[in-house]
Homo-oligomer: A and B are copies of this chain.
Amino acid sequence: MIGILVNDRVKAGKQAINELYNVGYYGRPKGDTLELTLIEAAYLHYKKKLEIQIDDRSLSFEEFFTEASKRQQYFDLKYIVYKDLRERGFYVQPSVTDFRVYPRGGHPGKTPAKFFVHVISERIPLSLKELRMSLEAAHNVHKTMVLAIVDEESDITFYEIRKVEPAGSVESIEQAVQGKRGRSTFLEDRVVVWNSDFSSSLHAAGFYGHPLDADRLQLSLVESGYLLKKGILEVADMSGTSSLGFSEFAAKASVIESEFMLKYMVYENLRDRGLVPKTGFKFGSHFRVYLDFRSVDKLPHSEYLVHSIAEEYEFMLPVMSRAVRLANSVRKRMIYAVYDNVHCAYIDIGRIKM
């Protein structure tokens, strides 16, 4: 079988439609011609099912591969992923998102494609904007969005990207404390509640803070901000003379932690959804989140790690890879939260085996 290299396509005759398309769904028939992408053609060359010619001369695999690399950006990366998917029995067609991949047992004409696969090098930063656009596009046509990340040694890791809406059932702190209010002091970079009863209520009802000792509770900045905004906590500065409003508090907190508001808006949203977020420091994320908190004594497993990111965020893929891997190693989902001044969107990124 002979194909002719024309620009970024390889064109083969009618026989190819029978032997390559009808059998393996390679290429797209256009009348009596089968049009193959450079990637499909390279794979068929490697499988010795296609000879590729330019000016009546046959190209070796090395020649064609090098030539294709000149004609298509990231040709080698995409080839690696295409070959991997094909060799594991998937039918693959080109698409605006690199590849449309059919579910196991499915093929063009029989079933719709299931996955939109995006191929990316670990070295290229991925903007959140781009990720969300691709996710919307896949979502709108009921496809699963998959990122295939190729590392420097050409190993592929597949990630499934999903939108999620976390929901919990913890009663609101206003209800839980039944009108009680308490006072606290803003020390260097945390807040201490001095009253023993009030400390206990906050800790027991919503897992707020960390006991300094049996009588006193230390609150983190986001926790203090939330309780202050809900009108439950009074926060004094170290001089003890003035009590802070939320915006004063937020300004002070933002000096200590420049990302304070970025974290706070997601913290508030998670709490308002009935979830219990606590610091995710040990996991390198902003929050670990309990979906089903009942009591401090019977603490459930925290199921999410949530990291709050700005709309203009760019994923560094080695960093994302580490975050997802760590989350999975402790049986949690890695979720990125984006607050856009109105809503909070949650994006779940997890490894999948394809």
Q: Enumerate chain A interface residues (CB-CB to B < 8 A).
A: 46, 61-62, 65-66, 69-70, 73-77, 80, 83, 121-123, 151-155, 157, 185, 187-190, 192, 194, 209-210, 212-213, 216, 218, 220-223, 238, 240, 256-257, 278-279, 281-285, 317-319, 321-323, 325-326, 329-330
Contacts and interface: CB of A to CB of B under 8 A. Distances in A.
B152 A281 contact: yes
A153 B185 contact: no
Contacts of A318: 281, 284-285
A84 to B, nearest CB: 11
Interface of A is mostly: mixed
- Going nearest first, the 10 A-B pairs with the smallest beta carbon separation are A284-B322, A151-B281, A152-B220, A329-B329, A154-B210, A326-B326, A154-B218, A153-B279, A69-B187, A153-B210
Contact of A66 (B122, B190, B240, B257): B240
A188 B221 contact: no
A211 to B, nearest CB: 9
A218 B283 CA distance: 34
Nearest to A83: B213
Given A77-B189, A155-B279, A325-B326, 8 more contacts: A76-B187, A123-B189, A281-B317, A281-B318, A282-B321, A284-B319, A284-B322, A322-B322
B284 A321 contact: yes
A38 B99 CA distance: 65
24 contacts: A62-B194, A65-B187, A69-B187, A69-B238, A75-B187, A76-B189, A76-B218, A77-B188, A77-B189, A122-B281, A123-B256, A123-B257, A151-B279, A152-B189, A152-B222, A152-B281, A153-B223, A155-B282, A281-B317, A284-B318, A284-B319, A284-B321, A326-B329, A329-B329
Most chain-B CB neighbours within 10 Å: which of A222, A257, A281, A321? A281
A128 to B, nearest CB: 18
Contacts of A321: 281-284
A213 B48 CA distance: 13
B221 A322 contact: no
A212 B69 CA distance: 15
Contacts of A323: 284, 322
Given A213-B46, A284-B325, A66 B185 contact: yes
B279 A152 contact: yes
Contacts of A69: 187-188, 238
A333 to B, nearest CB: 16
A187 B154 contact: no
A74 B209 CA distance: 18
Contacts of A221: 152
A153 to B, nearest CB: 5
Contacts of A154: 190, 210, 212, 218, 220
